[in-house]
A and B are shown apart, each in its own frame.
Chain A
Amino acid sequence: MTTVDDQSVGMSYLESFPRKLLRVYLPLGLITFFLLFPFYWMAVTTFKPDAEMYDYEKYNPFLIAHPTLEHIKKLFFDTDYPLWMWNTVIVSVSSTFISLFASVCAAYAIERLRYKGSRYVGLAIFLGYLVPPSILFIPLAAIVFQLGLFDGNLALILTYPTFLIPFCTWLLMGYFRTIPYELEECALIDGATRLQILTKITLPLSLPGVISAGIFAFTLSWNEFIYALTFISSSENKTIPVGAITELVNGDVYHWGALMAAALTGSVPVVILYSFFVEYYVSAMTGAVKE
């Protein structure tokens, strides 16, 4: 008789704890440590006074002897950081809503109206998703300049949808496909218009998909860097990532405390949002790959 290996999926509960510790928990712990350490270091540096930050002999660098809010205070009151935060919020929220609106309409038309050539349009939109910002930013800079949008929030609000719409449309197409066609046919027979069908049947039923696309689009626009770096020049119009890296470094003087405080406080809003919608976020991320 063959002994069933103790690592089989159905029998894994029989595995002894020490073995599982070595085989699963230890490597998992090491990788998690690697993935989380930069955040820990960010947080520790944010709340450390300068005296401790640059003196590893007297103080243990991993701990904070005298926690301080001095760096955060400096960041919020001596720099344009609140403005950057405000710009980032405005830009992310507006570009997310514009993209969601355009994507819902487009995905519905491609999946449900199935007009002539819709399949090819769907494919073209997917290809648009694969065009990276790093080959678009130079011509886009020329266009933004020509349209007179340079150095303003509108430049970012209008260009971020170029990578958000393809992604959201592709994701929503997948969700719309799962809604039974019969529901729409019933509504059509009862005399509903297409717009009514979209707003009263398809959208409510695919709400999880819309939330997923929205959350993911929001984090993507919050993280965007190259467009914001290229299209914005004055400090008060910058977003957090750009402001942190261009305004907090004076020549060779790095304000590490303030930099880390900016990194930490700039990440917290996204992380909070993410923590509330983890499942939606993951489904957006994996859905875009699987579909």
Chain B
Amino acid sequence: MAVLAEPVAAQVKRSSMWSRAFESRNFLGAMFMVPAIAILVLFLAYPLALGFWLGMTDTKIGGVGRFIGFQNFVSLSRDSVFWLSVFNTIFYTVTASIVKFAIGLYLALLLNERLPFKSMIRAIVLLPFVVPTVLSAIAFWWIYDSQFSIISWVLIKAGLLTRYIEFLGDPWNARWSVVVANIWRGVPFVAITLLAGLQTISPSLYEAANLDGATNWQRFRHITLPMLSPIIAVVMTFSVLMTFTDFQLIYTITRGGPINATHLMATLSFQRAITGGNLGEGAAISNAMIPFLVAAILLSFFGLQRSRWQQGGRD
């Protein structure tokens, strides 16, 4: 008996250790986090760090790179195509975001009215955001065709033009064309998220303002905008982030042409890294986007803080 008792006691002790471990929040929490953390570390955090490293090497596809410090950045700073892509990215982001915000807010205000079939209209309006971007970009590519553009055809029939527009052949036309396609894709996101924000504003605020004799503009300026500003901050941060790092629309519609006039930093890094095989240089271009992204993230962070503070919430 005495011989048997010892291992049994050890077993009891071990099982209680296990059960205690499974009752411990920290241990259980770690177990629950394993799948998510494994994927995120291997395919998100590690590549992010690897990207920093690659940007400082002269790695080619299929070869091992040497550490060359900031040489990629030095050569990029003398590269006029790179600076053109920076200009294009900023132009693309600023113009598209401003128009997306204006049309999106307007559309949100319109959808907030009493409307028949409101939920159906909302569902339809969101379609451009739902449909795969590349596939709708192919439709834009066809709409912008130099010989068979439907826009040119309509304008000629209406007597406003005499010849077909070179949508994608001329640098500035091409820039504006991709901006319009981006606006088309982004407006639904801005509108529907802002609409969700509008619906949380209490009607009693407007009623009180009406009693005080406020005009339409005053109600918009002093009730709608301040109440909506936290969510505007967050939505526009997301929108700016998506626009700034956009790849699909440009790659589909222009591939960066004509003569690099529509290259964004993302498409240029793809061209240099994957098409051209210079992984190091491509990674350096991607890394050059990071300061802008950090600025956007900080903005969103303070937007979030402010929205919590305004709603009187904690945490």
Nearest CB in chain B: distance from A132 CB, A: 4
Which residue of chain B has its CB nearest to the CB of A27?
B110
Which residue of chain B has its CB nearest to the CB of A123?
B301
Residues of B within 8 A of A128 (CB): 40, 44-45
Q: Is the CB of A260 within 8 A of B30?
A: no
B247 within 8 A of A: yes
Q: Is the CB of B47 within 8 A of A143?
A: yes
Q: Is the CB of A28 within 8 A of B121?
A: yes
Q: Is the CB of B234 within 8 A of A240?
A: no
Q: Which of A101, A127, A137 has the most CB of B within 10 A?
A: A137
Other-chain residue from B119, B235, B286 in contact with A138 (beta carbon distance below 8 A): B286
Given contacts A102-B39, A270-B132, contact A53 B207 (CB under 8 A): no
Stretch at the interface among A72-80, A159-167, A178-186: A159-167
Interface string of A248-266 (1 = CB under 8 A from B): 0000000010011011101
In the assembled complex, the Cα of A125 lies from the Cα of B41 at a distance in Å of: 11
In the assembled complex, the Cα of A259 lies from the Cα of B135 at a distance in Å of: 9
Residues of A within 8 A of B59 (CB): 142
Interface string of A6-37 (1 = CB under 8 A from B): 01111011000000100010011001101110
B187 within 8 A of A: yes
Residues of B within 8 A of A141 (CB): 273-274, 279
Given contacts A161-B39, A240-B135, A266-B132, contact A131 B124 (CB under 8 A): no
Q: Is the CB of B47 within 8 A of A140?
A: yes
Residues of A within 8 A of B203 (CB): 9-10
Binding site secondary structure of chain A: helix
> How many pairs of A and B residues are in contact by the CB < 8 Å rule?
296
Q: Is the CB of A132 within 8 A of B293?
A: yes
Q: Which of A150-176 contact B (CB under 8 A)?
A: 158-159, 161-162, 165-166, 169
Residues of A within 8 A of B40 (CB): 125, 128, 162, 165-166
B96 within 8 A of A: no
Given contacts A134-B245, A142-B54, contact A267 B136 (CB under 8 A): yes
A94 within 8 A of B: no
Nearest CB in chain A: distance from B52 CB, A: 9
Q: Which of B139-177 contact A (CB under 8 A)?
A: 139-140, 142-143, 145, 148, 150, 153
Other-chain residue from B48, B111, B139, B231 in contact with A38 (beta carbon distance below 8 A): B139
Q: Is the CB of A36 within 8 A of B127?
A: yes
Q: Is the CB of A278 within 8 A of B123?
A: yes
Residues of A within 8 A of B210 (CB): 4-5, 8
Q: Is the CB of A121 within 8 A of B33?
A: yes
Q: Which of B30-55 contact A (CB under 8 A)?
A: 30, 32-37, 39-40, 42-48, 50-51, 54
Q: Is the CB of A113 within 8 A of B28?
A: yes
Q: Is the CB of B132 within 8 A of A169?
A: no
Nearest CB in chain A: distance from B309 CB, A: 15
Other-chain residue from A125, A139, A161, A282 in contact with B126 (beta carbon distance below 8 A): A282
Q: Is the CB of B39 within 8 A of A138?
A: no
**Tally of contact residues, B, Cβ under 8 A:** 103
Residues of B within 8 A of A244 (CB): 134-135, 138
Q: Is the CB of A290 within 8 A of B115?
A: no
Q: Is the CB of A134 within 8 A of B269?
A: yes
B131 within 8 A of A: yes
Q: Is the CB of B192 within 8 A of A286?
A: yes
Which residue of chain B has its CB nearest to the CB of A216?
B130
Q: Is the CB of A56 within 8 A of B107?
A: no
Q: Is the CB of A106 within 8 A of B36?
A: yes
Q: Is the CB of A108 within 8 A of B114?
A: no
Q: Is the CB of B35 within 8 A of A105?
A: yes
Q: Is the CB of B26 within 8 A of A12?
A: no
Interface string of B274-314 (1 = CB under 8 A from A): 10000100110011011001001100100000000000000
Q: Is the CB of B121 within 8 A of A114?
A: no
Nearest CB in chain B: distance from A220 CB, A: 10
In the assembled complex, the Cα of A53 lies from the Cα of B145 at a distance in Å of: 12
In the assembled complex, the Cα of A109 lies from the Cα of B272 at a distance in Å of: 42
Q: Is the CB of B193 within 8 A of A115?
A: no
Instruction: Other than A62-B150, A290-B234, give 5 A-B pairs with Cβ distance below 8 A.
Output: A128-B44, A222-B132, A256-B148, A263-B138, A281-B126
Spell out A's residues near B (CB within 8 Å): 2, 4-5, 7-10, 12-13, 20, 24, 27-28, 31-32, 34-36, 38-39, 41-42, 45, 53-54, 56, 61-62, 98, 101-103, 105-106, 108-110, 113-116, 118, 121, 125, 127-128, 130-143, 158-159, 161-162, 165-166, 169, 193-194, 219, 222-223, 225-226, 229-230, 240-242, 244-245, 256, 259-260, 262-264, 266-267, 270-271, 274-275, 278, 281-282, 285-286, 289-290
Spell out B's residues near A (CB within 8 Å): 22, 25-26, 28-30, 32-37, 39-40, 42-48, 50-51, 54, 59, 103, 106-107, 110-111, 113-115, 119, 121-136, 138-140, 142-143, 145, 148, 150, 153, 184, 187-189, 192-193, 196-197, 203, 206-207, 210-211, 213, 215-216, 231, 234-235, 238, 241-242, 245-248, 251-252, 266, 269-270, 273-274, 279, 282-283, 286-287, 289-290, 293, 296-297, 300
